[in-house]
Chains A and B, each alone.
Chain A
Amino acid sequence: MHTTTAELIIVAIILLDLSLAVSGSLAACIRLAAAQGVIAAILPLLAGSGAPESRAIIFSSTVILLKGVIFPWLLTRARVKANARKDVEPFIGYPASIILCLGAFAAASWLGTRLPLPETTRVAWIVPASLATIFTGFLLITTRAKAITQVLGYLVIENGIYVFGLALFVEQPLMVELAILLDIFVAVFVMGITIFHISREFDHIDTDELSQLSDWHPQRDGEAE
């Protein structure tokens, strides 16, 4: 195990979490999430002492291709086609975002010590980093207005789950990971199409304003009694 390299990657993942929380540009966010996915995909190559197995290489390159090339491309395309504004339109300020992100990291460190994990984990901070990444993904989903940032949030959550899976199953994370990846792929695909169509119909992809489409209308349904 190339422990030092792995630990460096973990640090990079945490730093990318923080930058995702404060980045205001949509294009930058897409790139940051892609970068996080790519460096996380290197992790399985570092398992074991010698040269990586061919299976791990194939797997890693698939993940890198998807997360580093295809997803960013789809998302950028959706962003351009939907003519979205360039910023992420957060509900809360960037200082609040980064404080929440740091808080999440603190909580994740505490959780990491409490979780009953197998003893195989040798890379320091891998569990807190994965949990923090998952929290960051949720942060992106819940505090940003655009539908596209929600897709990004799911991608970041997936990165977190991926790292967590590596921490848990050093040998056999691949099947689980592939299944999740497939789900996310479909989700990105569907959401890309939906975002495109919604923006064409309504001239914006602001989910906050799409609440008018829900089945609940306070004015109409209100206190009927």
Chain B
Amino acid sequence: MLFSVVSVVVLLFSALLALIFNRSALKTSAVGASGAVIASLTGLIPVVKTLIVPARETLSLPCSLPVGSFSFVLDPLAAFFLVPVFILTAAAALYGVDYLKQFDGKKPLGLAWAMFNVLSASMVVVILSADAVPFLIGWEAMAAASFALVIFEHEKSQVRKAGIIYLVAGGAGALFLLAMFALFGIGSDSLAFSSFTRPAGGLASVAFLCAIMGFGLKAGFVPLHIWLPEAHPAAPSHVSAVMSGVMIKMGIYGLMRALHFLTPWQPWWGWLLITIGVVSGLLGVIFALAQHDLKRLLAYSSIENIGIITLGLGIGVLGVVKAIYPLAALGFAGALLHVVNHALFKGLLFMGAGAVLHAAGTAELEALGGLSKKMPRTAVYFLVGAAAIAGLPPLNGFVSEFFICFGAFTALRAPIQTATGAVLTIAVMAAIGTLASACFAKAFGAVFLGKSRSLKCAAVHEAGPWMGFAMGVLAAACVFIGFASPLLVAPLSAAIACGFGPRLGLEFSAAAGIPLLYISAGALTLAAVLALITVFRKFLLRGRKPAAGPTWDCGYAAPSARMQYGASSFVQPLTDFFQPMLRTQRHYSGLKGFFPAGADFHTEANSVFYNHLYAPAANLIKRLAFRYSWLQHGRLQLYILYIVVALIALLVCKL
């Protein structure tokens, strides 16, 4: 616990130093990044210890608050969430050293580094809090710091719009959390987690719904997700990596903690979580398919992955309620492991996207292409991330998605209702996996394969050394988890036991031990086959020289790079199929006359929920508000009269 405190202090102190050294880009980057790395390394010591030898360390700072106390707990569940936080923030900080160089002299880098480290520190505080007050302080600091980072390039109007949406979403979420903690604290004189009374019956359901809304707004449950596709592309790429990789997981963490205070659970909670998971997972990946901007695509894919995590959580809750413990244990395990996995590969992918954006000046898929020749290292790392996020073996995404599907299979013999949920889960997981593969085949293909579609990509350079190192670490972690998954049984079972009861922890060890060995063996076999094929290829090419020639172009006389399969054309069969949900707008001018001069075609991916749900709702509220605009007339006397009337009314009510 001492080391955790040290890590938070180091983060805050280096944030301060980064502000002080604002004048010099070199110093401020050095201070900010080294602070983040040192904090992560110290922070990981107690975390790893807690995960290997499950323990529960507490700390109470001797200063008191009006309604709460600064008390903190490091238990295996907290430790499990701290692992990705520390790894990803350290990697992102290193990446930021190179990435932020382009803004040198144009932007206050000191502020960016300070906010980045405050963001890291606030996430650690949120995870370690054992009292609602420090939890909410951390939560709000997290929102404020990330807001400051989202509007880093505030001269762009798109970024300002993203900032406003993000701010509103964060504020609304915090309101729900206040209500939730108030319900938890009913009848207790403190807001410490340990003194929470367990609200029963209807109140418990209200508290659960508040948790879904409050934490769901942070995590990005559909339809509460609209801030993600705006804020993630707006932020600098290493910040997008942290926000998408770990910050939105704070919503999942909070939900898990909240569930802990709400036992016994009600069956419909499980069904609600499963529904949210199914809707978020499917819509997230479908929207991702239709995007033209690499970072927006990744943001929608984060919604998809949050869907997978929630689906795991949902079958976990259902399993506990229906007493099908292997289902519960594997569902929770899948959710927990996917939190870590998604942090690793989504962080990696956002960094890859940032490297592309940094090098080519655009993340527009239709303008990119052929970058694998200019940026071979980035291409390899991005490929690892893309394969991992698509859930392909032998990488880490496969392991966590396997847990959820495997759990669902164990429930196939359960009573029909539960079995239906299990079948639904399996079907949806399969669909998500397939669509995600298509989506990332499109993303990787459009960016790295083929030939460059625009002149901008001609002068592209490979990412800087720190950027490469950060991506390399994350890619290595993705591969490591894919191959060494049996090592995860002990920490996962400790986290599950801590969060959802010791019985589920044991159940998980029993259910997952053998299959994970098979997965490892399969992964090793696959690697061996690949190695064999490589050797065989080398053998065949021995003494011959491979030659490069033009692609066969069906006899067309003057092919150009723009005639390649584009990102949109690649996924058109799928996007056509899902058009009722996507509502993509097509603009086609058509060919005219016998000798057509030019034609024009472009599509716009629609923010369906923003345009068809939130914008009309906001307009309605605005119209209603304008109806009462006569109340706001600018007369001070009458404003004071309002106050007097309100005060007297309160006084009379109380008598």
Contacts and interface: CB of A to CB of B under 8 A. Distances in A.
A223 B640 CA distance: 25
B563 interface: no
Contact of B626 (A138, A142, A214, A223): A223
A208 B623 contact: no
A211 B635 contact: yes
A138 B640 contact: yes
A115 B655 contact: yes
Contact of A150 (B623, B632, B633, B636): B636
A225 B619 contact: yes
B622 interface: yes
B638 interface: yes
A145 B644 CA distance: 17
Interface string B137-173: 0000000000000000000000000000000000000
A216 B637 contact: no
B641 interface: yes
B637 A225 contact: no
A215 B112 CA distance: 33
Interface size class of B (residues with CB under 8 A): 10 to 19
Chain B interface main SS type: helix
A83 B375 CA distance: 77
B634 A211 contact: yes
Nearest to A114: B655
A216 B633 contact: yes
Interface in B596-655: 619, 622-623, 626, 629, 632-638, 640-641, 644, 651, 655
B644 A138 contact: yes
Interface size class of A (residues with CB under 8 A): 20 to 34
B632 A111 contact: no
Nearest to A217: B634
A16 B303 CA distance: 69
B633 A142 contact: no
Interface in B297-327: none
A138 B651 CA distance: 15
Interface in A183-225: 207-208, 210-214, 216, 218, 221-225
A225 B635 CA distance: 24
Contact of B651 (A111, A142, A207, A221): A111
A127 interface: no
Nearest to B626: A223
A91 interface: yes
B633 A225 contact: no
Nearest to B639: A142
A142 B634 contact: no
B622 A225 contact: yes
Contacts of B637: 91, 141-145, 150, 207-208
Contact of B640 (A111, A142, A216, A222): A142
Given A111-B655, A224-B626, A225-B622, A211 B640 contact: no
Contacts of B623: 225
Contacts of B633: 211, 216, 218
A161 to B, nearest CB: 13
Given A111-B655, A225-B619, A225-B626, A214 B640 contact: no
Contacts of B619: 225
A218 B626 CA distance: 11
Contacts of B655: 111, 114-115
Contacts of A218: 629, 633
Residue from the set B623, B634, B635 with the largest chain A CB neighbour count within 10 Å: B634
Given A212-B634, A225-B619, A141 B626 contact: no
A225 to B, nearest CB: 6
Nearest to A141: B640
B210 to A, nearest CB: 32
B654 to A, nearest CB: 10
Contacts of B640: 138, 141-142, 150
Contacts of A150: 636-637, 640
Contact of A142 (B622, B629, B632, B641): B641
A138 B636 CA distance: 12
Nearest to A221: B629
Contacts of B632: 216
B112 to A, nearest CB: 32
Contacts of A214: 634
A191 B633 CA distance: 22
A17 to B, nearest CB: 16
A141 B637 CA distance: 6
Contacts of B622: 225
Contact of B644 (A142, A210, A216): A142
A144 B619 CA distance: 38
A29 to B, nearest CB: 16
A212 B565 CA distance: 61
Contacts of A223: 626
Contacts of B629: 216, 218, 221-222
B651 A208 contact: no
A93 to B, nearest CB: 16
Contacts of B636: 150, 207, 210-211
Contacts of B651: 111
Nearest to B636: A207
A208 B626 contact: no
B632 to A, nearest CB: 5
A115 B622 CA distance: 41
Given A111-B651, A142-B640, A142-B644, A216 B626 contact: no
Contacts of B638: 142
Given A142-B638, A150-B636, 14 more contacts: A115-B655, A141-B637, A141-B640, A145-B637, A150-B637, A150-B640, A207-B637, A211-B635, A213-B634, A216-B629, A218-B633, A221-B629, A224-B626, A225-B626
Interface of B: 619, 622-623, 626, 629, 632-638, 640-641, 644, 651, 655
The 5 closest A-B pairs by CB, nearest first: A211-B634, A214-B634, A142-B641, A114-B655, A142-B637
6 contacts: A210-B636, A211-B636, A216-B629, A216-B633, A216-B634, A218-B629
